[in-house]
């Protein structure tokens, strides 16, 4: 349900691009590009591929960003994404500590359900360029961004009762499939920065390649080390909202 609402939000933003582009046609003077900082909140709906698809289903990301835009429409900065998902494909995860109905039992003989989630983050730097296509605003156009950084993800095992001994403390690490490593990301989308209103957003397509490796010395369910090298791929829709802080001629910052 969360992913569906997220997709509908992006669809709504896409439908607004047409009306914004039509407004550009009636502007008689093209405004010059501005320079300054962009404070952002970004969100992704991701489809997993590569080794990622063997462990997790579709997921979503959300997080802040901080960029600087030049008058020549170059843009660079940093961003941080939280990775969240609720579809886990590791069927053998609790092998050896569950019954024939795949239900876990604690030391008192009680049958318990244990929640499993995908959790992680991506932190990195980005650089890109805005190819202006607007007839009225030099800031607006096709934005191409390339990023590099650090990715980490794992399976969050949640035993709320804390009554299953095999999932307590350090033992939990034998089931969480912790993975991390370098990632490369490519984004292509449309950027709109308004001149006199708080309509400042971007939306487009994104793909990230994670060159990762497992970081657990032993996995209890499969009885082997969890140190395999991986190719984790996420691709989907990325969008976000910006709060610009541009410079006037007096060089004093102001919020757009």
Two structure tokens written together for 37: 């900082």
* Pairwise CA distance, residues 238 & 207, whole Å: 9
* Pairwise CA distance, residues 84 & 120, whole Å: 7
The confidence score (pLDDT) of residue 145 equals 98
* Pairwise CA distance, residues 131 & 146, whole Å: 14
Least confident of 36-40, 100-104, 208-212: 100-104
What's the mean pLDDT when you consider all of the chain?
85
Q: Which residues contact 5 (CB under 8 A, 6 or more apart)?
A: none
The confidence score (pLDDT) of residue 92 equals 81
* Pairwise CA distance, residues 73 & 219, whole Å: 49
The confidence score (pLDDT) of residue 249 equals 55
Q: Tell me the mean pLDDT in the region 174-186.
A: 96
Sketch the domain layout of the chain as residue ranges. 2-27+35-190+206-245
Segment 147-156, tens digit of pLDDT:
999 999 999 9
* Pairwise CA distance, residues 23 & 196, whole Å: 13
Residue 13 has pLDDT above 90, yes or no: no
Question: Within 10 A of 196 (CB to CB), how many other CB atoms are there?
Answer: 6
The CATH class for the domain spanning 2-27+35-190+206-245 reads: mainly beta
Q: Tell me the mean pLDDT in the region 179-203.
A: 92
The confidence score (pLDDT) of residue 78 equals 98
Helix spans in the chain (H): 2-25, 51-55
Band of residue 252 on the pLDDT scale cut at 50, 70, 90? very low
Residue 186 has pLDDT above 50, yes or no: yes
Tell me the three-class secondary structure of 184-213, residue by residue: EEEEEEEEEECCCCCCEEEEEEEEEEEEEE
Q: How open is the CA angle 70-234-149, to the nearest 5 degrees?
A: 50
* Pairwise CA distance, residues 116 & 203, whole Å: 31
Residue 21 has pLDDT above 50, yes or no: no
Band of residue 97 on the pLDDT scale cut at 50, 70, 90? confident
Q: What is the DSSP letter of 132?
A: E
Phi, psi angles (nearest 5°) of residue 195: -85, -30
Residue 6 has pLDDT above 70, yes or no: no
CB 199 within 8 A of CB 240: no
What separation, in Å, do the N-terminal and C-terminal C-alpha atoms of the chain show?
A: 34
* Pairwise CA distance, residues 131 & 144, whole Å: 8
Q: Tell me the mean pLDDT in the region 209-216.
A: 98
* Pairwise CA distance, residues 38 & 78, whole Å: 11
CA distances from 186 to 46, 59, 100, 126, 238 (A): 13, 18, 45, 9, 11
Residue 61 has pLDDT above 50, yes or no: yes
Q: Tell me the mean pLDDT in the region 137-144.
A: 94
Which tops the pLDDT comparison, 240 or 166? 240
CB 214 within 8 A of CB 178: yes
The confidence score (pLDDT) of residue 121 equals 98
Least confident of 99-113, 115-129, 206-220: 99-113
The confidence score (pLDDT) of residue 11 equals 52
């Amino acid at each position: 349900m969360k992913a569906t609402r997220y997709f509908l939000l992006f669809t709504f933003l896409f439908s607004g691009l047409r009306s914004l582009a039509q407004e550009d046609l009636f502007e008689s003077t093209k405004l010059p590009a501005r320079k300054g900082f962009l404070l952002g909140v970004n969100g992704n709906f991701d489809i997993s591929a590569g080794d990622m698809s063997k462990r997790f289903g579709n997921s979503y990301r959300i997080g802040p960003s901080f960029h600087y835009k030049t008058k020549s429409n170059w843009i660079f900065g940093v961003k941080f994404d939280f990775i969240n998902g609720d579809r886990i494909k590791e069927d053998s995860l609790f092998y050896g500590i569950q019954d024939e109905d795949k239900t876990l039992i604690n030391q008192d003989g009680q049958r318990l359900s244990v929640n499993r989630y995908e959790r992680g983050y991506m932190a990195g730097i980005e650089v890109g360029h805005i190819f202006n296509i607007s007839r009225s605003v030099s800031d607006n156009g096709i934005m191409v961004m390339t990023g590099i950084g650090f990715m980490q993800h794992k399976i969050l095992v949640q035993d709320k009762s804390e009554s299953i001994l095999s999932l307590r403390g350090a033992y939990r690490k034998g089931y969480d499939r912790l993975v991390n490593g370098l990632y490369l990301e490519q984004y292509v989308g449309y950027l709109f920065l308004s001149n006199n209103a708080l309509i400042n957003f971007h939306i487009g397509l994104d793909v990230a390649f994670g060159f990762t490796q497992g970081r657990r010395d032993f996995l209890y369910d499969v009885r082997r080390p969890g140190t395999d090298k991986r190719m984790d791929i996420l691709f989907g829709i990325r969008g976000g909202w910006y709060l610009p802080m541009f410079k006037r001629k007096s060089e004093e910052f102001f919020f757009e």
